[in-house]
Amino acid sequence: MITRRGFFKLVGGGIAGVMSLGGYAFAYEPLARLGIARYRLTPPGWTPRLKLRVVALADIHACEPWMSANRITAICHRANELEGDVTVLLGDYASGMNMVTQYVHSSQWSKALATLQAPLGVHAIMGNHDWWEDRTAQKNGGMETFGHRALADVGIPVYGNRAVRLEKDGRGFWFAGLEDQLALLPGRKWGRTRMLGLDDLDGTMAQVTDDAPVILLAHEPDIFPRVPERVSLTLSGHTHGGQIRFLGRSPIVPSRYGNRYAYGHIVEEGRNIIVSGGLGCSIAPVRFGVPPEIVVIDLG
């Protein structure tokens, strides 16, 4: 039988454990940890003898104190050390929460991202928060966001339903980048009754003019069931791995498919997608079991 002293010791230990866990989830994992998620694969349709290292950064969500311009710069330096042939940015540079001490202006986070270097360049797409945080873009119902302009100003090309052919060692491959699938919010002030995407998968793929392999950049992984076999690999972010993850599953995932595309390398019917756990936080500054990460993919 437990004594009164033993009971309070047990309760005290439980409270201390909860506080420690909370401190880890709110402070250490979002701010102090940075993982490197590595994948190696030769997907269907990949050109023989084409060796390509892709470094991917997703879901930065620039804001103080969680993702300052200085921290973004440090992450970019670490990404450069990974010696990718090409670097991709998978969207959501703008903050996605109100629990901040200060917002980081697009001119600051884009300047930090401009420190990224790769022989075949740095290539970007937009995410839903980049659209949602831009009232002018919402009012216009499209065109471009302040994120598009900020990245263009520092020389980083943004792919909005666009495909571009690159080469390494004389062997070609394509980057095809989609505009965001959740770009336009519903609301009376916008004159929209439902959320609208600006992605055009068919139109983007129509720009691919030869048999070289295609890497598709799509912020939300929910597009994956529609991706044709012609695409060798899809790269996505958006989910943050659920931001809280236990035993390979997350209680909440911002996807209509739940945990199906929450995180990692998924193969369906011979098609491949890699979903990054991302770097920043959305809604609340909490991460547990899915620390911020840079993704490195070795193809071929």
The confidence band for 198, taking pLDDT boundaries of 50, 70 and 90, is: very high
Task: Give me the pLDDT at residue 193, please.
Answer: 94
Task: Give me the pLDDT at residue 98, please.
Answer: 84
pLDDT tens track for 171-182: 999 999 999 999
Q: What is the mean pLDDT of the chain?
A: 90
Whether residue 213 sits in one domain with residue 167: yes
Whether residue 286 sits in one domain with residue 170: yes
pTM, 2 dp: 0.90
Whether residue 72 sits in one domain with residue 15: no
pLDDT exceeds 80 at position 209: yes
pLDDT exceeds 90 at position 4: no
Whether residue 43 sits in one domain with residue 27: no
**CATH code of the domain containing 239:** 3.60.21.10
Whether residue 84 sits in one domain with residue 72: yes
pLDDT tens track for 14-64: 323 333 344 444 454 555 579 999 999 999 999 999 999 999 999 999 999
Task: Give me the pLDDT at residue 32, please.
Answer: 58
List the domain range (segments joined by +) for residue 12.
Answer: 1-32
Cα–Cα distance for residue pair 295/90, rounded to 1 Å? 11
Task: Give me the pLDDT at residue 20, please.
Answer: 38
Domains of the chain: total: 2
pLDDT exceeds 80 at position 66: yes
Whether residue 186 sits in one domain with residue 222: yes
pLDDT tens track for 280-292: 999 899 999 999 9
Task: Give me the pLDDT at residue 29, please.
Answer: 55
Whether residue 150 sits in one domain with residue 28: no
Whether residue 197 sits in one domain with residue 248: yes
Whether residue 197 sits in one domain with residue 121: yes
DSSP conformation letters of the chain:
---HHHHHHHHHHHHHHHHHHHHIIIIIIIII--EEEEEEE--TTPPTT--EEEEEE----BEETTB-HHHHHHHHHHHHHT--SEEEE-S--B-B-S--SEEPPHHHHHHHHTT---TT-EEE---HHHHHT-HHHHHHTSS--HHHHHHHHTT--B-SSEEEEEEETTEEEEEEEPPPTT-B--BTTTTBSS-B----HHHHHTT--SSS-EEEE-SSGGGGGG--TTEEEEEE-SSGGGSB-BTTB-S--SSTTGGGGSSEEEEETTEEEEE---SS-BSSS--BSS--EEEEEEE-
- The whole-number average pLDDT for the span 115-138 is 97
Task: Give me the pLDDT at residue 69, please.
Answer: 97
Whether residue 195 sits in one domain with residue 53: yes
Whether residue 41 sits in one domain with residue 3: no
Q: Which of 76-80, 97-101, 224-228, 250-254 is predicted least confidently? A: 97-101
Residues with Cβ < 8 Å from 15, sequence gap 6 or more?
none
